[in-house]
Amino acid sequence: MTKTKLTKKQGLALKYLKDKETTELLFGGSAGGGKSYLGAVWLIYLCTSYDGIRCLIGRSKLDSLKKTTLNTFFDVCKQFGLEANVDYTFNGSSNIVRFTNGSEIILKDLFLYPSDRNFDSLGSLEITAAFIDEANQITEKAKQIVSSRLRYKLDEYGLTPKLLMTCNPAKNWVYSDFYKPSKENRLPVYRKFIQALVDDNKHISKHYKEQLQKLDEISKQRLLFGNWEYDDSEDKLINYNAILGAFELDSTPTGDKYISADIARYGKDKTCIVYWNGLRAESFTVIDKNSVTEAAEAIRKVQNTYDVPLSNIIVDDDGVGGGVRDILRCKAFVNNSKALKGENYTNLKTQCYYALADAVNKSKIFVRTNNTTYKNFIVQELEQVRRKNFDKDTKLQLISKDEVKTAIGRSPDFSDALAMRMYYELKPQGKYYVQ
């Protein structure tokens, strides 16, 4: 360690990485905070201190890892006095760094590919320690899979499983699991968060900071000032912290039982069925590539399980959803129908999304799910509830579904199902009928 030039925060990070309490450390905040440097120092220290261990460096895309993180790793090796092809070797085909004592570092692509949603590519890999660079670019599931592999030779050397992650500010799981709980002094003891800024790194070139000063305002706030909260999007309808809070509001009162369902058929979209107890979204049933009859049977199963009145079941009537409505004879939700009560919305769907946004912002809705993927999907989709032409004197409207699909790479099936529930809040005493 004496051969390296560490900042105070990097030194604190290494303290956590050597203790017996911390298992997950997030180090980040701005560009140039010495994040990749820290990861390289730590893994080199481990690999040269313990014979025959196996570590991992992961990033969203392997190509980016090899062009950036790996180059930093080689630079740090030089600072340690380690010579390539003498003290260690790197195989560009297998993407493995091997040290003369038998320890190795495996480079891994952690992108969530549709063909490998369970990260089977990691196989039965067992590792001693892991460093994920730019963790904000991977899914929470990828992080969990890597964590589950931390067991190799830990008992032999009396080591604690350690996962080091670095990132720039982002509004996803790194925010909800690390930054926000740290700010509110409620991080669990096994997790640590260190805010690393450009000004913490005395070894960085002044020209680097000057380049960050030239960025657009949003990028400058994130990458220069490490501002996790900055967002100038005036079109967003739902506060991000309110979205996260919806998963914590278990005190939300119960009430009448409902089912809202967004129906898909043989495509990339999913059928999403939500069971409600009052404004508590208590369970989610998600089906891939289903027929109309299969979707109807799935809804009936949820109905029978929770004893939901037929009048309190609503499905979208667009496309194949109409076939499900015909089978069940439940309430039909017509997206482009007129807004209720003559209110100033372009259609019913927009009106219900506005009502959903208001309920979430006012902490009236509780969402229960232990499925990490579902939670992340819901958060992403609710983030995309955005106004269109909000600065014009026209009927209130949202950005199109196609725009949402482009932003998140899929259909907002979860949020569509959640929004439909608001029909009963807007017209709770409406006479039941079949359209």
Whole-number pLDDT of residue 201: 59
**85 shares a domain with 19:** yes
User: What b/e string do you get for 221-236 counting C-beta neighbours within 10 Å, with b at 16 or more?
Assistant: bbbbbbebeeeeeeeb
**327 shares a domain with 287:** yes
Residue 394 has pLDDT above 80, yes or no: no
Domain end among 196, 223, 250 = 223
**409 shares a domain with 326:** yes
Q: What is the mean pLDDT of residues 265-273?
A: 79
CATH number assigned to the domain comprising residue 325: 3.30.420.240
**109 shares a domain with 185:** yes
Tell me, yes or no, whether 155 lies in a domain: yes
271 close to 261: Cβ distance less than 8 angstroms: yes
Strand 104-109 to 331-333 pairing: unpaired
Whole-number pLDDT of residue 38: 93
Tell me, yes or no, whether 434 lies in a domain: no
**421 shares a domain with 299:** yes
State the pTM of this model.
0.73
% of the chain surpassing 70 pLDDT: 85
Q: Which domain holds residue 21?
A: 8-223
Q: What is the mean pLDDT of residues 76-85?
A: 95
Residue 18 has pLDDT above 70, yes or no: yes
Amino acid at 45: Y
CATH number assigned to the domain comprising residue 56: 3.40.50.300
Q: Tens digit of pLDDT for each residue in 291-318?
A: 899 999 999 999 999 999 999 999 998 7
3-state secondary structure of 331: strand
**163 shares a domain with 285:** no
Q: Tens digit of pLDDT for each residue in 137-171?
A: 898 989 999 999 999 999 999 999 999 999 988 88
Give the confidence band of 431 by pLDDT, cuts at 50, 70, 90.
Answer: very low
Q: CB-side exposure of 265: number of CA atoms within 13 Å?
A: 11
Residue 172 has pLDDT above 80, yes or no: yes
Q: What is the mean pLDDT of residues 190-199?
A: 85
**214 shares a domain with 245:** no
Residue 61 has pLDDT above 80, yes or no: yes
| 111 compared with 189, residue with greater pLDDT | 189
**212 shares a domain with 67:** yes
Separation in Å, CA 61 to CA 25, 110, 111, 128, 175? 21, 7, 6, 22, 21
Tell me, yes or no, whether 347 lies in a domain: yes
22 close to 194: Cβ distance less than 8 angstroms: no
**65 shares a domain with 164:** yes
* 380: CB partners within 8 A, 6+ apart: 172, 408
Residue 86 has pLDDT above 70, yes or no: yes
Q: In what order do the strands lie in the sheet with 54-59?
A: 88-91, 96-99, 104-109, 54-59, 129-132, 162-167, 24-29, 191-196
Task: Count how many domains the chain has.
Answer: 2
